[in-house]
Amino acid sequence: MKFWQALKEAIASIAANKTRSFLTVLGIVIGVGAVIGVLSIGQGAEASIMGQIESIGTNVIYVFRGNRAEDVTNPKYLTTADADALANRARAPHILNIASVLSGQSSVRFGDESAQTSIMGVTGNYAEVIDLKLSEGSFFTESHITNRSSVVVLGPELAERLTGRQTELIGTTVHINNYPFRVVGVAAAKGGNQFSSPDMDAYIPITAMQLRVKRQNVPNAVDFLLIQAQDSNSIDEAMHEGRTLLRASHRLTSRQPDDFTMTNQEDMLSIANSITNILTIFLAGIAAISLLVGGIGIMNIMLVSVTERTREIGLRKALGARKFDIQLQFLTESAMLSVFGGLIGIGLGWLLGKIVGAVAANSGTPLVPEISLNSVLLATLFSLAVGIFFGWYPALRAANLEPVEALRYE
- Specify the DSSP element, H or E, that contains 348: helix 323-362
Q: What is the pLDDT of residue 277?
A: 73
Percentage of the chain surpassing pLDDT 90? 24
Residue 152 has pLDDT above 90, yes or no: yes
First-last CA distance in the chain: 26
Residue 164 has pLDDT above 50, yes or no: yes
Query: What is the SS3 assignment for 394?
Result: helix
Residue 126 has pLDDT above 80, yes or no: yes
Query: At residue 267, what are phi and psi to the nearest 5 degrees?
Result: -65, -45
- Specify the DSSP element, H or E, that contains 136: strand 134-137
Q: What is the pLDDT of residue 236?
A: 84
* DSSP, residue by residue, 250-265: TT--TTSPPSEEEEEH
**Which has the minimum average pLDDT: 20-24, 279-283, 312-316, 401-405?**
401-405
Alpha helices in 148-234 (DSSP H): 156-163, 206-208
Cα-based distances in Å from 140 to 124, 149, 203, 209, 257: 6, 9, 9, 13, 37
Query: What is the SS3 assignment for 319?
Result: coil
Percentage of the chain surpassing pLDDT 70? 79
* DSSP, residue by residue, 70-109: TT-SSPPPEEHHHHHHHT-TTT-TTEEEEEEEEEEEEEEE
* DSSP, residue by residue, 355-385: HHHHHHHHTT--------HHHHHHHHHHHHH
Taking all residues of the chain, what is their mean pLDDT, rounded to a whole number? Answer: 80
Give the residue-averaged pLDDT of 165-187: 93
Q: Residue 202's pLDDT band (boundaries 50, 70, 90)?
A: very high
Residue 259 has pLDDT above 70, yes or no: yes
What's the predicted TM-score (pTM) here? Answer: 0.59
Q: Residue 156's pLDDT band (boundaries 50, 70, 90)?
A: very high
Q: What is the pLDDT of residue 3?
A: 59
Cα–Cα dist 387/334, whole Å: 5
Q: What is the pLDDT of residue 289?
A: 74
Residue 256 has pLDDT above 80, yes or no: yes
Q: What is the pLDDT of residue 99?
A: 92
Q: Residue 274's pLDDT band (boundaries 50, 70, 90)?
A: confident
Q: What is the pLDDT of residue 272?
A: 65
Q: What is the pLDDT of residue 194?
A: 41
Q: What is the pLDDT of residue 128?
A: 87
Give the residue-averaged pLDDT of 25-35: 78
Query: What is the SS3 assignment for 242?
Result: helix
Residue 195 has pLDDT above 50, yes or no: no
DSSP code, position 52:
H
DSSP code, position 169:
-
Query: What is the SS3 assignment for 202?
Result: strand
Nearest-10 crossing angle of helices 373-399, 265-308: 30
Q: Residue 267's pLDDT band (boundaries 50, 70, 90)?
A: low
Within 8 A by CB and 6+ apart from 248, the residues are 85
Residue bearing the bigger pLDDT, 401 or 390: 390
Residue 224 has pLDDT above 60, yes or no: yes
Which of 271, 286, 238 is closest to 93 using CA atoms?
238
Q: What is the pLDDT of residue 254?
A: 85
Which of 230-244, 286-300, 309-323 shows the highest mean pLDDT?
Answer: 230-244
Contact assessment for residue 365 and residue 52, using Cβ atoms and an 8 Å cutoff? no
Give the residue-averaged pLDDT of 109-136: 90
